[in-house]
Structure 1
């Protein structure tokens, strides 16, 4: 009888896991110095950029969770997220650039969807990576024209 009770308790923990784990989100923020829409050889990563993580309820789209972090000297942010957000739609987003001449968010590269759970999705790691996000420089660098020609040299365009 005691064996059955222990087996049922173990099964209950497996089916209904405790969702209080801390998840870690890592990503980077860059300045697109060529306004190319992607990272190039002259891209640099921004220290001190503010990044937000927002999770919304699937049905109502009401914000259920929000937190912010700041990039380090390598343009990388590490943000801790408490609890599992498996039932939410979550994304990282640019909040503010510390550089006045590189502060326009690149549309399409200004946010990154992220899965903040590790139950029922095959992700067993507590570290979750977000795609790099970028700001556009006000005026492209002079060498960008030649650099972009080089990148597109093998293209069919």
Structure 2
């Protein structure tokens, strides 16, 4: 009787370990982020910000040494301006970033050309960097509104920000 129990227990352990391997064997990440209309041309979210449904972004990973593109995926934002991209594999030896492609709003579809403004959000797609979650949150991506909204000066003043920096 004792050996039968041992065999059953051993079989159970083997099956359980096999199930763990199946559920944890494949590495994947969920990249998510928001796309907004930068109504004040400040490159960050304010009270006047609106989020864009139907905007397109691209996730691209490149080998750090060869600069070869290893993955390229596009996504479109939902009604809240959020996108989700599922990525297979660990990309530890790669530089990955999310960049804007297009905005459905003809009044808010410009990408900043300012050399000091980064239009891409770098993101780590590796479990070897100390991040345990499979979800990766990218920085918000903004398209510039054609004309700055009139209320932006007041909004920025309330935040303690001016076009030239902090309010004294």
TM over 0.5: yes
Unaligned runs of at least 5 residues, structure 2: 1-23
Question: C-alpha distance in 1, partners of 2:42/2:88?
Answer: 36
Aligned to 1:12: none
Aligned to 2:143: 135
Rg (Cα) greater in structure? 2
CA gap of 1:49–1:153, structure 2 versus 1, over 3 A, is: closer
RMSD, aligned α-carbons: 1.9
Question: C-alpha distance in 2, partners of 1:60/1:24?
Answer: 25
TM-superposed deviation, 1:109: 4.7
Deviations 1:51-89 (A, max 9, x none): 110000111112111001111000001110111111100
Aligned residue among 120, 123, 131 for 1:114: 123
Report if aligned partners of 1:33, 1:137 keep a CA contact under 8 Å in 2: yes
- Tell me whether 1:75 sits opposite 2:84 in the alignment: no
Higher helix share: 2
Instruction: Give the TM-score normalised by structure 2.
Output: 0.76
Instruction: Give the TM-score normalised by structure 1.
Output: 0.81
Question: C-alpha distance in 1, partners of 2:47/2:98?
Answer: 24
> Which consecutive aligned stretches of 4+ in structure 1 deviate over 6 angstroms post-superposition?
none
